[in-house]
Amino acid sequence: MQKHLDLVQSMTQPKLEASNPWLIGGVLRTQLQNVLYNKDEFKHIDDELIDFGKFCNDTLYELSVDAELNPPKLIKQDVYGNVIDKLVLSEGWRKEKEYASKCGIVAMAYENKHGVWNRLIQLLRLQMYQPVSGLFGCPLAMTDGAAYLLKQWLINPTTQCQETTSLVKQGFENLISRDPQKFWTSGQWMTEKDGGSDVNNSTTTIAIHQGGNKYKLFGYKWFSSATDSEMTLTLARIVPENKIEEFKKFPLSLFIMRVKKDDGTLNNIKIMTMKDKMGTRQLPTAELLLQGSEAFLISEEGKGVKAISHMLNVTRLYNASSAVGSMNRLYSIVLNYSLKRKAFGKILIDKPAHQAMLTKFNLNVRACSLFYFKVAQLFSKIQNNVANKDEEEMFRILTPLLKLYTAKICMYWMSEGIEALGALGYMENSYIPLMLRDAQVLTIWEGTTNVLCLDFLRALKSNDKNDPLQKLDIYARFHTHVMMTQLSADTQLPETRKSFIPYIAKMTINHNGIIAELSNILKGSVKYSEMRIRDLCFILCEAFVGGQMLELISKNGREEDILTFELWVEQMQQYTTTWSITPKAFEVLVNQNMVKSKL
């Protein structure tokens, strides 16, 4: 009997292990090789990325676990009753910051080591870093966005104020520093008590002029991530002191401010409370009261939203990098587990149902990776001033689509991945559930799905009143060029291409149908319903990804690329001009059956 008890106590579950993220994410590796024609250059960069992938798994992952187990705490008072508002941060969080600086997670994008593809390679490293960053990738997103904005400001300043210029220069240099002693992170304080993405209507923070370019800010920042940052960019309304009651009439402006004064005390900021969140618990997120915080204007007065929009493109790319990287990491964990876990006499990977799930998981990781790579490639060209006008417009159009699509697909596969690991994936101390909790924020931060769909429509609006389809035509030409180029006689498509012409036909029908409908919307020739926009955006994303898969076939002609394309098109939604979700459906099913809570 004891022998049997010893036996059952000695039995264990297979260990959950992740593969090197650069090697398992093979489609990104292939795409980089296609872009870097110099084989020696690719070999050098490839080796660096393999090494960084190993560093992520071996070192950064352990720090991320420490940050999860020891979330930030706020000490409001010392033992004598003095208000100190002290943040207590874990060793894992502090080390993540140190390594972020040393590894140049942000800095690489502003260096010249890889020329025009500097930003592209930085973003490829970033998607490996994000899942093991202990959420330090969040303040880095705002840090990178701020650095990008401040760099543009230094080229075209809005004031000659030396104090402002000095702070902007110091900020930019420290945000991109590889020296942990100099390295700064930046906040992006926009969300207030009314919440949401509608900052024009929800912002209540006011700025009172102090002379020159200096202001004092008064307001309540309801959701400020990166509370431990050294600086922040924030929106506020410049209001004369005798018109404070009319503050809503004044447009938003953008300010730069230090979080702490030179003596180390907070810049007239009171930390009200820490946020108790579903996920991202590693991240110090707080509610802040600005009580006359010293700040400097860095936009034209009243044009703060336009100024900060440059930052949003960067942070949305970071959001997508986290989605792609998290999917890739969990896929590798699920795949490795399936090689070891036995059920009903076989290892999981020999089970046809499990094979189907793994294939779909792989397909979606490839799809999101290709989408991410294309937008990263466009941004790299823009940042290095080699993009043409069409490429600049495509980046603006694709960025909200990339963010919304990768976030939603990631959420689905985080849940599916946990299910594939069974009870082991459900256990908190496997550190798999935190991947699902943390992924949920990706659908919310920097714009929910609905907000991003509407932003996509804004990106399509033409600046030329006589040509309302100007930007839509740019998108259509871009996608059609990919399609037509791959079908022309001089491409490297294999002879088997005739077999997947029907797949191209389906994708083209979807694409053309959506373009026609968007055309009517932009021309104002049809009554537009927001009820349709989500489905339109998702079908458009699927068609765009299909085009990227087709382009990959023309460059490599591998069987896996052909099969990926065919499988992708087979599972795509079919565009239709009739939709079941209508205002009438809402009225009958929702509105007429509404039971309001007590007010």
Residue 477: pLDDT over 60: yes
Span of 34-38, 478-482, 518-522, 569-573 with lowest mean pLDDT: 478-482
Tens of pLDDT, residues 424-436: 999 999 999 999 9
Q: Which residue has the higher pLDDT, 122 or 530?
A: 122
Measuring CA to CA, how many Å separate 468 from each of 225, 243, 518, 523, 527? 39, 40, 11, 6, 16
Where does the pLDDT of residue 415 fall: very low under 50, low under 70, confident under 90, or very high at 90 and above? very high
Q: Work out the end-to-end distance of the chain between its first and last CA atoms, rounded to an integer number of angstroms.
A: 64
Residue 489: pLDDT over 70: no
pLDDT for the residue numbered 213? 97
**Local structure of 67: helix, strand or coil:** helix
Q: Which residue has the higher pLDDT, 580 or 142?
A: 142
Where does the pLDDT of residue 39 fall: very low under 50, low under 70, confident under 90, or very high at 90 and above? confident
DSSP category for residue 11: -
Tens of pLDDT, residues 189-203: 998 988 777 888 889
pLDDT for the residue numbered 497? 60
338, with CB counted inside 10 A (0-12, 13-18, 19+), is: buried
pLDDT for the residue numbered 498? 66
For 440-452, the three-class secondary structure string (H helix, E strand, C coil) is HHHHCCCCCHHHH
| Whole-angstrom distance, CA of residue 527 vs CA of residue 95 | 55
For 262-285, the three-class secondary structure string (H helix, E strand, C coil) is CCCCECCEEEEEECCCCCCCCCCC
pLDDT for the residue numbered 25? 75
Average pLDDT over residues 399-416: 98
Average pLDDT over residues 465-480: 90
Where does the pLDDT of residue 549 fall: very low under 50, low under 70, confident under 90, or very high at 90 and above? very high
Residue 485: pLDDT over 80: no
pLDDT for the residue numbered 487? 62
Tens of pLDDT, residues 353-373: 999 999 999 999 999 999 999
pLDDT for the residue numbered 348? 96
**Whether 125 contacts 105, CB under 8 Å:** yes
Residue 491: pLDDT over 60: no
Q: Which residue has the higher pLDDT, 471 or 504?
A: 471
Report residue 34 CA to chain centroid gap: 24
pLDDT for the residue numbered 559? 86
Tens of pLDDT, residues 188-244: 999 898 877 788 888 999 999 999 999 999 999 998 888 999 999 999 999 999 999
Q: Bridge partners of 235?
A: 254
Question: b/e map of 429-440 (b: 16 or more CB within 10 Å)?
Answer: ebebbbbbebbb
Q: Which residue has the higher pLDDT, 483 or 495?
A: 483
Say what the pTM is.
0.95
Give the E-state strand segments of 114-250 in sequence order: 186-189, 206-211, 214-224, 231-238
Tens of pLDDT, residues 562-597: 899 999 999 998 888 777 677 888 889 899 998 888
Residue 251: pLDDT over 60: yes
Average pLDDT over residues 233-258: 96
Residue 558: pLDDT over 80: yes
Where does residue 302 fall: left (phi above 0), alpha (psi -120 to 50 degrees), or beta otherwise? Answer: left
| Whole-angstrom distance, CA of residue 205 vs CA of residue 291 | 10
**Whether 164 contacts 213, CB under 8 Å:** yes
Where does the pLDDT of residue 479 fall: very low under 50, low under 70, confident under 90, or very high at 90 and above? confident
pLDDT for the residue numbered 528? 65
Percent of the residues in the chain that have a pLDDT greater than 90, as a whole number: 79
For the chain, list the domains and their CATH numbers: 148-303 (2.40.110.20), 461-591 (no CATH)
Average pLDDT over residues 442-461: 94
Residue 157: pLDDT over 60: yes
Tens of pLDDT, residues 309-335: 889 999 999 999 999 999 999 999 999
pLDDT for the residue numbered 346? 94
Residue 523: pLDDT over 90: no
Tens of pLDDT, residues 54-105: 999 999 999 999 999 999 999 999 999 998 999 999 999 999 999 999 999 9
Return mean pLDDT, the chain: 93
Residue 469: pLDDT over 70: yes
Average pLDDT over residues 150-176: 97
Which residue do the tokens 């207030």 mark?
Answer: 192
pLDDT for the residue numbered 496? 58
